[in-house]
Amino acid sequence: MRIETDVDKLIELVSNVTESYTTAVFLADNKKRILKMWKYYSLGDNVNPNATIPFGTGPIGIVAETKTDFDLTKFSERDSNLLKIYSKSESIKSFFAVPIINKDGILEGVLAIDSKKTYFFSNKDQKLLKLFAEQFSLLLNNIRVQKFMDTETSDIQFLNEFCNEITRIKDVDSILQFTINSIIRLIKCDGYFISLKSNKNNEFYVAVSQSGKDIKGLKFSDQCGLAGFVMEDKKPFLLGNRKEELGSYIFAPSESIGRVRSFLGVPLLYKDEVLGLICLVDSKEDKFNQRDLQIISIMANNISLAITNVKAQKLIHSLSTNIDGLTGLWNFSGFHEHLDKIIQNASRKRFPISLMIIDIDGFTRINYNLGYEAGNEILRQFAKFLSDIDIGNGNIYLARYGSDEFALILPKIGGDRAFLYAEDICFAISNTKFVLPSRNIEINVSIGVSCFPEDSDNKNELIKNALLALSEAKSKGGKSAWILGL
């Protein structure tokens, strides 16, 4: 079965990323309060494939009992036997384990890694293992759905194909469009909508719209409409004969989607958090039935897991590769890692390095007025703009330094030239339009410039001076560049 293959590949990935000696996944029997070995990947031959561990016994059992992480950075030979993983004694020196908990907060099992080196697993490894535990929870849910669907017929065949396909999709927009297309195949009605939660508190927006009136991008937050009611209640809702006094609109008063007599709404939930909502509407009464509600509910569960999986994969990729998931540039840690190397090289070969830190003026206000999705799109387009600029010999390095701050490292360029380039960037940005679905927008930037070794002796001073120069540029109203000593 393909999902079983996915499990084996995921366990091997955990081992490769964390460089563990053994990676083991135990499944929980909560009634009997025991853990049973399910899958493992080891560099040795002594793993016990039939290992069972009572809750509360040894480090792994304690993780199951408390549903919390367990970290031991130094073992003795005797202590390693408490792991209950091996049939023979192994010289284990480091150990870390995390609980596998499903979206309802129920313990599914324990994910454990160990090493023959002391103090081996870093904070980064521990963060990654927690994300991998979420991936195993998603796969276990898919396995349960697969087993359930094997017992059903026509509708179940549809769900089987849907669930298998949705696990292959790697971005949220494609997940939503595939979902709408699949529902259209199954249920005929006047309108199909999927809404998602924005990064703004209690605000949602229509992410996909398939109806006579396209309302994609519509933002809503109040609970007076039917959509708000379903999200507040966090339960599927079926209405066959809607009266005008029961929710005078679906999403917002400005929606204009016409007369609605039948309504089907299913929230997208993950660990009791509302990620979004699937809505079907029709002008005829009693258009939808319990069968429709049940199928959409199963789909919604898998959509929630798929969306969460995609976001977790992006975060894992970002943590593993020092790449920012939104812009594709280096992230904060990637910036520091590469700047260290460039400064070391510059010190040996005696050439200057200039650093620009760029801040988008008034970006918080843009997020508030247009929403975080629009803000993210501006950040993506701004990163593309910076990637396309031609400075000196083109040998520049870009990073996303903060939420709305970007850094440019310019080897072999002194402070005076860097400052002129910074002024050119300010001017070019002010004459560039950023294209959004609802409107075009213009932005301005402030830039702080510093130079090694002209005004900075090391990496920390170089960054500090660039930030001081940036603060000076912003204090003068923004839309400008500044370099210390100007």
Predicted pLDDT of residue 1: 47
Q: What are the tens digits of pLDDT across the range 413-472?
A: 999 999 999 999 999 999 999 988 778 899 999 999 999 998 888 999 999 999 999 999
Topology of domain 322-483, per CATH?
Alpha-Beta Plaits (3.30.70)
Domain ranges of the chain: 2-145, 152-312, 322-483
Cα distance between the two ends of the chain: 67
Predicted pLDDT of residue 201: 67
The mean-pLDDT minimum among 36-40, 353-357, 365-369 falls in 365-369
Q: Do domains 2-145 and 322-483 have the same CATH topology?
A: no
| pLDDT for residue 139 is more than 90 | no
**What is the second-level CATH architecture of the domain 152-312?**
2-Layer Sandwich (3.30)
Q: What are the tens digits of pLDDT across the range 263-281?
A: 999 999 988 889 999 999 9
> For 98, phi and psi rounded to 5 degrees?
-135, 150
The span from the CA of 217 to the CA of 204, in Å, is 9
Provide the token pair at 479.
Answer: 């839309």
Which are the contacts of 21, defined by CB distance < 8 A and separation ≥ 6?
42, 43, 44, 90, 92, 114, 115, 116
Name the helix (H) or strand (E) containing 405.
strand 405-411
**Torsion-angle region of 391 (φ positive above 0: left; ψ -120 to 50: alpha; else: beta):** beta
Topology of domain 2-145, per CATH?
Beta-Lactamase (3.30.450)
Q: What are the tens digits of pLDDT across the range 26-83?
A: 999 998 899 999 999 999 999 999 999 999 999 999 999 999 999 887 666 556 688 8
pTM of the full predicted structure?
A: 0.49
Q: What are the tens digits of pLDDT across the range 110-122?
A: 999 999 988 888 8
3-state secondary structure of 60: helix
Q: Which of 49, 46, 38 lies closest to 8, judged by CA?
A: 38
Q: What are the tens digits of pLDDT across the range 376-425?
A: 999 999 999 999 888 766 678 999 999 899 999 999 999 999 999 999 99
| Token pair 């195993």 in the structure block, residue | 136
Predicted pLDDT of residue 318: 64
